[in-house]
Amino acid sequence: MVKAYRQEHVYKHPWERVTSASWRKFADAENKRVLSHILEVDTLSQSIDPSSGKLYTTRAITVQCPWLVRRLIGEDICHCVESTVVDAPSRSMQQVYRNVSLQKFIEVEEKTRYDPHPDNTAGWTVCQQETRIRIKPLSALASMAEKVEQRCADRFLQNSAKSREVMERICKYLEAESSSFSL
């Protein structure tokens, strides 16, 4: 069974600032405290398509498994891959996160898209997120699959809120930084 969870958030910041914040959210020490489930982030590849101007980036992300998953499966960490496409001329950024470890137990795919808000293209950004969670049926875990799925969904919602908090903080920092340069 696959369950999908969707969220939409409007950042009251321009697309360029929000996408810049997205790149910085795992780097700052204060953000690392808020996003404590993120253990490590490494860039695997980065390229620009000369004909389209699109930036393609792939990063490896190591995350702490939710408590219930750790208890049932016995694994503390999970490795994920983040694939990002930035289309600066069209002002669109898309990210897809997938777990590459623990796939025999669970598959998680999160898609995030940042676009200028249709009602305020210069000043606001729409962030759309969709997460799909699929627990693989195992005889030992069959009765627990629903609970694991719900815990993963709850964790997604909590982490999503934390990520928005970090993004807002970075956007405000970038806004203040750009104001001081314009003086």
| 64-122 pLDDT tens trace | 887 777 777 778 899 999 999 999 999 999 999 999 998 888 889 999 999 999 999 99
Distances (CA, A) of 177 to 14, 24, 171: 14, 14, 10
Comparing 155 with 21, the larger pLDDT belongs to 21
User: The domain spanning residue 87 has which CATH number?
Assistant: 3.30.530.20
Comparing 15 with 26, the larger pLDDT belongs to 15
Domain that holds residue 32: 2-181
Q: What is the pLDDT of residue 158?
A: 83
Structure confidence by residue, pLDDT tens digits, 137-173: 664 455 566 667 777 778 778 888 888 888 888 899 8
Q: How does residue 182 score in pLDDT terms, banded at 50, 70 and 90?
A: low
Q: How does residue 123 score in pLDDT terms, banded at 50, 70 and 90?
A: very high
Q: What is the pLDDT of residue 10?
A: 96
When pLDDT is averaged across residues 174-182 and rounded to a whole number, the result is 78
When pLDDT is averaged across residues 165-182 and rounded to a whole number, the result is 83
Q: What is the pLDDT of residue 15?
A: 96
What domain count does the chain have? 1
